[in-house]
Every structure is written in structure tokens, then in C-alpha cells.
């Protein structure tokens, strides 16, 4: 890690709510994912600094960032693809892809290469903080819910959920982060600082 320009986001945004799902079993694989040795968030320095500016803006509004995933080792991406190609592993279907056949997840949801491995992509949401207690805002679906309901502009969500997604979208876009329209939580800094580099050092 010391040989890269990846920095620990917690050093720049100490009030971020780290909920790093792949460092535990609460994710669609049901297991700790290869390459995640600690629940930490690393991003390339320009990306982390941009995210810190987002956090500064939100803090004034009484909001903070809830972070699900940041830099993702390439070995973790390979694990996701192997999982998606295993038709016998269906434990997480009710909670993560109830309306899709597992084979469809490789079409837009699980990619063989990821901006996360380039240190420029982050999965996140918003929380409202009052007297030191932070509660997640209602975004309409959970993180990694593989369904069109998770599309950022899906018309079926409530007015409150639409407003909350728009707040996140506006805050991120102000500092150069572009949303992936199929997933309300997924943002990439544009232009990417290192578009040709995929890292595989473990998160620890």
C-alpha cells in the first residue's frame, strides 16, 4: 500500500460512517471477500481529497457519508465473477437479486474489471447525524440490490427516496463524481487519475 498513492479516507474524513461490506459476511457472497483484511476505505489521493470536499459540504447540512466500498483489490473482482458464474450458490438470492437469474448479474451489475480497482470509484450513501447519532437516509433499496429499483432515476421510488438520491447525486457531482445510473450508490471521479492501473494490494 505504501508503494501506491492510495490513502486511508478516514484520515481525511474522520466522521465518515465506514460500513465496508466486503470485509464482513453481510454481502451478496455471504463471505469475507478475497483481499479484504480490514474494514477500511482507501482511494487514490485526488479522489479522497475530492470526497473530503463532498463531506465538508454535507456536514453543514447535518449529513455525513456512509461508505460501503472504496478501492477494491483485483482479486476481489475475480472472486465476484467466479461467484456469479456458480449456478449452485444461491443463498443470497432473496436479499440481493430476487427478480433476476444469477447469470444476468454479469450484464451490468458485476463486471470483470472495475473502477474500484483503479482507486477512483466509491459506493456510498448518506446519514443524518443528531447529537452524535447517525441514521441512514431512505434510498429505496439497500446497497448491492441487483434490480432496476436501484437505478438512480427509477420512477417507482417515493418522493422522499428520490429527494435523498438527488441530494447525494448533487453533492457528488459538485466535486466531479459521476454516478453509474444502474446503481444509486456508485460514483467515479472523472477524469480518473489512473485509468490504466488496476491495483491488487490487500485492504488492511
**CB atoms near residue 161 (< 10 Å):** 18
Contact 178, 137 (CB under 8 A): no
- Residue 155 is classified by DSSP as T
Catalytic one of 31, 112, 183, 192 = 183
183 carries an active-site annotation: yes
Please name which of 17, 7, 11 lies closest in space to residue 143, comparing C-alpha atoms.
17
How far apart are the C-alpha atoms of 98 and 60, rounded to whole Å? Answer: 38
Grid cell digits, residue 110? 458485476
Full DSSP string of 161-184: HHHHHHHHHHHHHTTTEEE-TT-T
The burial class, CB within 10 Å (0-12 / 13-18 / 19+), for 59 is middle
45-60 and 159-173 helices cross at what angle (nearest 10)? 130
Catalytically annotated residues: 183
Amino acid at each position: 500500500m505504501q508503494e501506491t498513492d492510495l490513502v486511508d479516507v478516514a484520515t481525511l474524513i474522520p466522521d465518515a460512517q465506514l460500513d465496508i461490506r466486503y470485509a464482513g459476511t453481510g454481502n451478496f457472497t455471504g463471505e469475507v471477500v478475497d483481499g479484504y483484511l480490514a474494514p477500511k476505505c482507501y482511494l487514490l489521493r485526488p479522489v479522497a481529497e475530492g470526497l473530503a470536499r463532498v463531506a465538508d459540504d454535507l456536514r453543514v447540512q447535518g449529513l455525513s457519508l456512509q461508505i460501503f466500498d472504496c478501492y477494491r483489490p483485483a482479486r476481489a473482482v475475480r472472486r465476484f465473477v467466479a461467484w456469479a458464474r456458480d449456478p449452485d450458490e444461491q443463498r443470497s438470492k432473496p436479499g440481493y437479486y430476487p427478480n433476476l437469474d444469477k447469470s444476468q448479474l454479469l450484464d451490468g451489475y458485476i463486471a470483470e474489471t472495475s473502477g474500484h480497482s483503479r482507486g477512483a470509484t466509491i459506493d456510498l450513501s448518506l446519514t443524518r447525524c443528531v447529537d452524535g447519532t447517525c441514521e441512514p437516509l431512505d434510498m429505496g433499496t439497500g446497497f448491492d440490490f441487483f434490480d432496476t429499483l436501484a437505478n438512480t432515476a427509477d420512477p417507482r421510488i417515493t418522493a422522499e427516496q428520490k429527494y435523498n438520491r438527488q441530494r447525494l447525486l448533487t453533492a457528488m457531482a459538485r466535486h466531479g463524481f459521476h454516478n453509474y445510473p444502474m446503481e444509486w450508490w456508485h460514483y467515479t471521479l472523472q477524469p480518473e487519475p489512473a485509468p490504466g492501473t488496476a491495483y491488487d494490494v490487500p485492504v488492511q
